[in-house]
Structure 1
Amino acid sequence: MHATQPPGTQIDILAVHNLRDLGGWPAGDGRRVRSGLIFHSTDLHAVADAGLEALARLGLRTIVDLRTVAEREPQPDRLPDGATQLYCDVLADARNAAPAMLPMIMADPRNAGELLGDGKAESLFAQGYRDIVSLPSALDAFRRYFLVLADETRRPLLFHCATGKDRTGWAAAATLSLLGVSQDDVFQDYMLTNLQLLPALQPVFDRFAAAGGDPDLLKPVLGVQPAYLEAAFEEMRRTFGSLDAYFEDGLKIESGTLRELRVALTEERTT
């Protein structure tokens, strides 16, 4: 991220949406999150050669794929030169995972109201975010993500799910929270998804409407809402009691490793 750009600035690479650097956010005690080390985006299956070259210029060493097997096998990532991949299937243990339900919804737009209307979509996604925090597969996936993030030889690192907003949204929120970023800034970063992702998904809205669906039903599915992320934090507090306990008791990451992450991924603010 260029020094003059505010945190959360979108990085423009064709066919890679919701791409941004987690760096730049104030991290407390006069520190900020280091830039150029942690990125997130949508999946990388459609990126062209020029986009791969642009990703390679970010220096990426690791791509963490948070998708399910069913999502990633038909649309595998294209990796930039120099990067290796780590699969962390967050929702492997979920029966009906809302963050991975888009293909089912798009298959039957005319009847989507039965699944999504009258607040059902919001309820489904709130439960999905609780699953992202407490499912055994989620705990295992995020443990592996944070351990690879702690390995300086694997950074810079990019993580993603399918649309880079739900599983990716929690990964970003948990990372920033661990590094001392305020909850207001964590939510501000999260909500940038509606500005940086939804415009790129207009063709999806258009196809849904052309097939007889109500495009308004897709807004809580393709976008994000503060209530979703709040549901994740509530689940974290209910299940583990605190952020530190989530990392130490839920993810089984030693306190020394967490301290090392905070030191390695933040720096003193000079202004």
Structure 2
Amino acid sequence: MDNFRDVAGTVTAYSTCHGTLRSNAFYRSNAVIPSAADMLLLEELGIRAIFGLRADQEIKAEPDMIPSGATYRQFNVLRERFERTDLSTFSFESGEQTAAFMADVNRDFVQSAAIREVLGEVLTTMAETQGPVLFHCSAGKDRTGWVSALLLSIAGADEATLMNDYLATNTYTAQRINAALVAMPEETRAIYAPVMGVDAHYLNAALEQVAIVYGDMDNYLLNGLNLTRQLLGDLRSKLLM
């Protein structure tokens, strides 16, 4: 769980136009496959709910280990994309093609009605859940990164904060990514490096799509995800001191 961290901040709590973020409200992570020491920490933090953003095949390959006292719920964010893309026959021929694919995935967080519906369910359930919530996907970077960006936006964080939090994944997962790249044949390393971590271009692709389609994040949350101002207010109260 090298990409586990508090949404409130990586070093100190983030400050926003509405105030300072509250620790121990929302956590983000890669797949919940903790060591014994990690599991003890999760239980000490009082995690009450784990929201898995992965597809069925990802869960089957790497099942989550749920800490005692926590409930689990799956939200298959990219189900619609997986259904229309045969990943078993999908291959990349260049790093540029891989990076373009990652940007398209992020645009789909805004463009796809099916994905927006699931994201709305995620945030609605977060608002209704008591106690600390941990949400995650496989690497904790794309689906998890976008949900974290939405929470930070609701809290009033600026785009610089969203981007810094998003790019922190590269620092947290550097050791694992470097080991994986070193193990690859040299000719494929450049092709798959873009999918291993995150890049500002990926998040910007989604943010730019929000601006194009909805004008701003507030309108995306209200009309794209069909959230109410009351629910956004409830989430903001959970997020802020």
The match for 2:28 among 40, 50, 63 is 40
Q: Name the SS of the counterpart of 1:73 in structure 2.
A: helix
Q: Does 1:53 align with 2:40?
A: yes
The match for 2:67 among 62, 69, 80 is 80
The one-letter code of the counterpart of 1:77 is D
Q: Does 1:195 align with 2:171?
A: yes
Does the 8 Å contact 2:28/2:140 carry over to 1? yes
Q: Does 1:204 align with 2:191?
A: no
Q: Does 1:215 align with 2:215?
A: no
Does the 8 Å contact 1:43/1:161 carry over to 2? yes
| Whole-angstrom CA distance in 1 between matches of 2:57 and 2:210 | 27
The CA deviation at 1:83 is: 0.8
User: After superposition, what is the alpha-carbon deviation per residue over 1:135-163, rounded to whole angstroms, capped at 9, x for unaligned?
Assistant: 2332122112111211252x301111110
Q: RMSD between aligned alpha carbons?
A: 2.2
The CA deviation at 1:249 is: 1.0
Does the 8 Å contact 1:133/1:139 carry over to 2? yes
**Who is 1:18 aligned against?**
3
The one-letter code of the counterpart of 1:247 is L
Q: Given the superposition, is the C-alpha separation of residues 56 and 65 from structure 1 closer, same or farther in structure 2, using an over 3 Å criterion? A: same
TM-score normalised according to structure 2 size: 0.90
Does the 8 Å contact 2:110/2:224 carry over to 1? no
Q: Does 1:262 align with 2:230?
A: no
| Whole-angstrom CA distance in 1 between matches of 2:137 and 2:89 | 17
Range moving further from structure 2, 86-95 or 223-232: 86-95
The CA deviation at 1:95 is: 4.5
Q: Given the superposition, is the C-alpha separation of residues 47 and 143 from structure 1 closer, same or farther in structure 2, using an over 3 Å criterion? A: same
User: After superposition, what is the alpha-carbon deviation per residue over 1:12-62, rounded to whole angstroms, capped at 9, x for unaligned?
Assistant: xxxx11111011111114x11111111101001x32333211211111011
**Who is 1:28 aligned against?**
17
Gaps of 5+ in 2: none
Does the 8 Å contact 2:46/2:132 carry over to 1? yes
Higher helix share: 2
**Who is 1:183 aligned against?**
159
Q: Given the superposition, is the C-alpha separation of residues 120 and 161 from structure 1 closer, same or farther in structure 2, using an over 3 Å criterion? A: same
Q: Does 1:143 align with 2:88?
A: no
Q: Name the SS of the counterpart of 2:80 in structure 1.
A: coil
Q: Given the superposition, is the C-alpha separation of residues 166 and 118 from structure 1 closer, same or farther in structure 2, using an over 3 Å criterion? A: closer
Gaps of 5+ in 1: 1-15, 106-111
| Whole-angstrom CA distance in 2 between matches of 1:36 and 1:216 | 38
The match for 1:126 among 76, 100, 103 is 103
| Whole-angstrom CA distance in 2 between matches of 1:75 and 1:162 | 8
User: After superposition, what is the alpha-carbon deviation per residue over 1:164-218, rounded to whole angstroms, capped at 9, x for unaligned?
Assistant: 0011111111110111011111101111111111212333213322xx6432322
| Whole-angstrom CA distance in 1 between matches of 2:95 and 2:67 | 43
| Whole-angstrom CA distance in 1 between matches of 2:14 and 2:93 | 35
| Whole-angstrom CA distance in 1 between matches of 2:137 and 2:129 | 22
| Whole-angstrom CA distance in 1 between matches of 2:95 and 2:193 | 13
Q: Name the SS of the counterpart of 1:93 in structure 2.
A: helix
The one-letter code of the counterpart of 1:204 is A
The one-letter code of the counterpart of 2:213 is T
Higher relative contact order (CA 8 A, sep 6+): 2
Q: Given the superposition, is the C-alpha separation of residues 35 and 134 from structure 1 closer, same or farther in structure 2, using an over 3 Å criterion? A: same
